[in-house]
Chain A
Amino acid sequence: MILINCPYCGERDQTEFACHGEAHIARPTDTASLTDEQWGDYVFFRTNPKGIHYERWVHVHGCRRWFNAVRHTVQDEILATYEVGAPRPDVGGQQ
């Protein structure tokens, strides 16, 4: 059983949550001048790292709030959770 620390509710079982992919991806503002390649990058391409990954999560069965998490994709360990809009937290320089 993995516990995830919801920034609003505290530690809860992972089955209360859902992950929705990479965080900190801003929608382009100059959409009219974007090339197909740039649109493709925004819509389809993700960093897919082996190691530290910044992700969007939602506390589906709890407070239903969105938040971000830092997860290690090999160990599946969640190193930090933080509110949407907050900067990437320092997780000790791990890669």
Chain B
Amino acid sequence: MAELNPVLHTPLQHATFHGAGVVMGENLFCAKVIVRGNFDDAQLTSRLSEQAGLPVNVAANTFVENDSAAVFWLGPDERMIYSYAKEPQVLLAELRSVMPAGRSSAVDVSDYYTTIRVGGVNARKVLSAGTPFDVHGSNFPEGSCVQTRFGTASVMLVMQDSSPAFDIQVRWSFAEYVWRYLRRVAEFRTLTPQS
């Protein structure tokens, strides 16, 4: 297997930002595959779970993750699978090898999306300035992922931990828009604690 070079292939060149109670950065490149199929099929589900290294039959609006992979719910018949260790084409081939032809699909979207990590005490405020989804902990606990809107961009919000730290998955062409939006809100004067 070729050496995975996570420094390449990201729209924001791993930009970082720190200030106003917000820490942001673009995550490293990773393999991303969208799988569509019948997840009520126990055989398909167990085979895919084996390949992904994680259970793929996750509940609506949730995800599971370990050191080498993650599985996100996108719809009743759709999952997003990340691999932090494998090349995209390797992950794709492994998943396809257990999928019945003609009744399911796997598509490499590694270069179609990037993710931005937003953390810090004001992270929730920054997020809520752009999305209609209620990101309060009572509505958006750890382990949740939701597809929603940020500004005019379609995004997936991922609740990584309640420190808090969120990931925003966004399409490549909207990454700079979302990044600038987040920065603009983070730099807004009223977010900083009054001295």
Interface of B is mostly: strand
Chain A residues 52 to 66 lying within 8 A of chain B, measured CB to CB, are 60-65
Which A residues lie within 8 Å of B60 (CB)?
Answer: 8-10
23 of the cross-chain contacts (CB-CB < 8 Å) are A8-B60, A8-B75, A9-B61, A10-B61, A12-B132, A12-B133, A12-B148, A13-B132, A15-B132, A15-B149, A16-B148, A16-B149, A60-B154, A61-B147, A61-B148, A61-B149, A62-B148, A63-B74, A63-B75, A63-B76, A64-B75, A64-B147, A65-B76
Report the bound CA distance from A15 to B171 in whole Å: 19
Chain A residues 1 to 36 lying within 8 A of chain B, measured CB to CB, are 1, 8-10, 12-13, 15-16
Nearest CB in chain B to that of A83: its residue: B76
Report the bound CA distance from A61 to B146 in whole Å: 10
Which B residues lie within 8 Å of A64 (CB)?
Answer: 75, 147
Given contacts A8-B60, A8-B75, A9-B60, contact A63 B147 (CB under 8 A): yes
Report the bound CA distance from A65 to B78 in whole Å: 11
Nearest CB in chain B to that of A1: its residue: B132
Report the bound CA distance from A8 to B75 in whole Å: 7
Q: How many A residues face the partner with a CB closer than 8 A?
A: 14
CB distance from A10 to the nearest CB of B (A): 7
3 closest cross-chain pairs (CB), A and B: A13-B132, A63-B75, A61-B149
Report the bound CA distance from A25 to B147 in whole Å: 29
Q: Mark B144-163, 1 if CB is under 8 A from A, else 0.
A: 00111100001000000000
Q: Which of B61, B78, B132, B133 has the most CB of A within 10 A?
A: B132
Nearest CB in chain A to that of B155: its residue: A61
Nearest CB in chain B to that of A64: its residue: B75
Report the bound CA distance from A13 to B146 in whole Å: 12
Which B residues lie within 8 Å of A13 (CB)?
Answer: 132-133, 148-149
Which A residues lie within 8 Å of B146 (CB)?
Answer: 9, 62
Q: Which of A8, A15, A64 has the most CB of B within 10 A?
A: A8
CB distance from B166 to the nearest CB of A (A): 17
Report the bound CA distance from A65 to B77 in whole Å: 10
